Amino acid sequence: MGREYVVDVRDGRVGQVMGREGGRVQLRPVGGGQEWDCPPEAVGEVPPGEVLRARVRRINEEGRLP
């Protein structure tokens, strides 16, 4: 079973679908982090390459010095 990634069209965040509960889609940021709930009508298809871009952004953020 592959991972399913979508975009939250409300703010452009890309997330991995972790589940569906209470009429909401539960998403986790690419590379991990705190999940958030998204209404199903705000879930969109991820443009090609966007999952990779989100992973690179996450790696860059983690590598920044305080």
- State pLDDT tens for residues 6-36: 999 999 999 999 999 999 999 999 888 999 9
Going along the chain from its start, the domains and CATH numbers come out as 5-63 (2.30.30)
**Proportion of the chain in helix, strand, coil states, percent, rounded to 5:** 25, 40, 35
- pLDDT at residue 34, rounded to an integer: 95
C-alpha dist (Å) from residue 59 to 9, 12, 15, 16, 45:
23, 18, 15, 16, 23
